């Protein structure tokens, strides 16, 4: 008995067993999205790296030209004058020890975390909770910074953080079905270019081994990874 429903099978039937150019894959992903809500469109890229080695970790951020179609909920760990700065920039939650205790109690009603360097003594103990969810602030992605205003504004504008998982795959969203093919293509091109730019010097051999585009509920569409290097052109 099939694990998928009739609508999924109908969408999957439109996907040919071949490699698609990125633009064509995005157009097809939008066409095969069938849910009643505005599905997110994302890409999964399998990279030729071994994340167990620190010098092969791939992570970074990219400001998508058209955002993500939703405003991220941002939590900021700050004190003193930085509290007001974060609030004026549009942070949803700002605080210190009290927020840390709330998170330790199981509260995770936010999408991104920013911290000033002096607050990492508080944030540090949350690593086991925030780390696996990709929410741990990090200087490399600009989320541990004294400039909380800029960090919050960039996240609100649609900055996406990407990080390779332990199997060597990056999963990242780049918009909503309602954006239309052109805006999705421009967002995807920016994301792919950022991932390619983040290639670690220690990575040997083929960097992008495979890539798949899909909507939240829709089928995966294989992308010709050899054509991705020119995706930003």
* pLDDT tens per residue, range 47-91: 999 988 889 989 888 989 998 887 789 999 999 999 999 999 999
Whether residue 134 lies inside any domain: the answer is yes
The whole domain housing 187 covers 16-67+160-230
Confidence band for 42, pLDDT divided at 50, 70 and 90: very high
When the pLDDT of each residue in the chain is averaged and rounded to a whole number, the result is: 89
CA-CA distance, 173 to 215, in Å (whole number)? 9
Tokens, residue 91: 């942070």
CA-CA distance, 201 to 209, in Å (whole number)? 17
Name the domain boundary from 156, 179, 205: 156
Q: What is the CATH number of the domain that holds 97?
A: 3.40.50.790
State the distance between the two ends of the chain, measured CA to CA, in whole angstroms: 44
Looking at the 3D structure of the chain, how many domains does it have? 2
pLDDT of residue 1: 36
C-alpha triplet 214, 217, 219: angle, nearest 5°: 45
* Whether residues 152 and 83 fall in one domain: yes
Instruction: Tell me the residue length of the chain.
Output: 233
pLDDT of residue 137: 93
pTM of the model: 0.76
The mean per-residue pLDDT over the stretch 20-32 comes to 90
| pLDDT of 159 above 90 | no
């Amino acid at each position: 008995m099939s694990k998928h429903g009739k609508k999924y099978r109908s969408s999957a039937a439109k996907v040919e067993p071949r490699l698609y150019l990125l633009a064509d894959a995005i157009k097809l992903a939008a066409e095969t999205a069938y849910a009643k809500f505005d599905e997110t469109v994302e890409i999964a890229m399998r990279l030729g790296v071994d994340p167990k080695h620190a010098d092969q970790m791939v992570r970074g951020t990219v400001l998508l030209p058209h955002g993500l179609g939703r405003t991220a909920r941002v939590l900021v760990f700050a004190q003193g004058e930085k509290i007001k700065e974060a609030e004026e920039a549009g942070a949803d939650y700002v605080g210190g020890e009290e927020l840390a205790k709330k998170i330790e109690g199981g509260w995770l009603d936010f999408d991104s975390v920013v911290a000033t360097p002096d607050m990492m003594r508080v944030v540090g103990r949350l690593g086991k909770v925030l780390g696996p969810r990709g929410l741990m602030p990090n200087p490399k992605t600009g989320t541990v910074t004294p400039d909380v205003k800029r960090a919050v504004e960039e996240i609100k504008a649609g900055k996406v953080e990407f990080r390779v998982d332990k199997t060597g795959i990056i999963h990242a969203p780049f918009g909503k079905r309602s954006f239309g093919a052109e805006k999705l293509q421009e967002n995807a091109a920016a994301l792919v270019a950022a991932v390619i730019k983040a290639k670690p010097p220690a990575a040997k051999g083929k960097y992008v081994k495979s890539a798949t585009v899909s909507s939240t509920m829709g089928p995966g569409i294989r992308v010709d990874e050899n054509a991705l290097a020119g995706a930003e052109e």
